[in-house]
Amino acid sequence: MNIPFKYTVGLLILAGCIAACWPGCHSSQPAPALPRQVDFNFHIKPILSDRCFKCHGPDEGARKADLRLDTREGAFAALKDEDERYAIVPGKPDQSMLVHRITSTDPEEMMPPPDSRLSLSPYEIALLKKWIAQGAEWKEHWAFLPPEKSPVPVVKDDSWPRNEIDHFVWNRMQQHGLAPSPAESKEKWLRRVSFDLTGLPPSPEELEAFLANEEAEAYEQVVDRLLASEAYGERMAPLWLDAARYADSHGYQDDRPRTMWPWRDWVIQAFNQNMPYDSFLIWQLAGDLLPHAT
């Protein structure tokens, strides 16, 4: 069979392109370097949650081998019918059955099972091994940990900071070779803080009173006054209402009023009463389950 010359040239060019690209297509990219300190919540828990919790998690009906890896007690407990073996032995990855299973090439022992399509990458296996070698420190989720006060940074020049927050800001600025902007005039400062906290400009009387106030706490007094005003809640509430897609009416061609306005007023009131954020969320997510619900 005679193949036209132009097709022959085209096939040769295509073959050359494939040959040139073939090594690149199959060249393995170097695995990312392991972190110096493996963190459970950041590095390990996402792996366990994605690859292991389906069969070794909180669902008792789907749990296999009576092994739980979603709790500290379950992860470090002796394995059932395994002659006092443990899934995780802190500091000893070679004695940890978890490492044995995730590195096994036997389809009967390999975890996750080959047919699950949840196989671990070499990097993920290395992370788990290093975490165990470093002591397998188990951490609760950050949301359930009590907050700890961070030590106030020591700065070279403490003439600029006025409070503890300023020390943190000034410390980070110094690390990047930055300097604070010059202090703003009292007129501009009052205008900015008024718009930030209430969405309204200061009145001429408020400006006059602030300019005449020479007390050291003059700025704090302005902020306290604005936070105590009803306009503060009215300014802050729309940020939350917008996120929840609130509107006073349906809009478009069917612009009928909506009966959600009591919730709108409640959000405004919550800001003005300085309701703690956890209570703010609980009342909205499960308010009907709380005592004295309405």
pLDDT in tens, the chain (294 residues): 555 555 555 555 655 555 545 544 444 566 688 999 999 999 999 999 999 999 999 999 999 999 999 999 999 999 987 778 999 999 999 999 999 999 999 988 999 998 888 999 999 999 999 999 999 999 988 888 888 888 999 888 888 898 999 999 999 999 999 999 998 999 999 999 999 999 999 999 999 999 999 998 999 999 999 999 999 999 999 999 999 999 888 877 777 888 889 999 999 999 999 999 999 999 999 988 888 877
H or E stretch at 222: helix 218-227
Does residue 142 come out as left (phi exceeding 0), alpha (psi in the -120 to 50 range) or beta? alpha
Contact indicator for 262, 248 with CB cutoff of 8 Å: no
Report the distance separating Cα 123 and Cα 128, nearest Å. 9
Can you give the pLDDT at residue 18? 55
Can you give the pLDDT at residue 8? 57
Can you give the pLDDT at residue 98? 95
Can you give the pLDDT at residue 142? 81
Report the distance separating Cα 239 and Cα 233, nearest Å. 10
Q: Position of tokens 């009966």? A: 259
Can you give the pLDDT at residue 12? 56
Report the distance separating Cα 271 and Cα 253, nearest Å. 33
Can you give the pLDDT at residue 291? 86
pTM passes above 0.85: no
**Domain boundaries defined on the chain:** 40-141, 183-228, 230-294
61 contacts: CB under 8 Å, gap ≥ 6 = none
Report the distance separating Cα 97 and Cα 129, nearest Å. 11
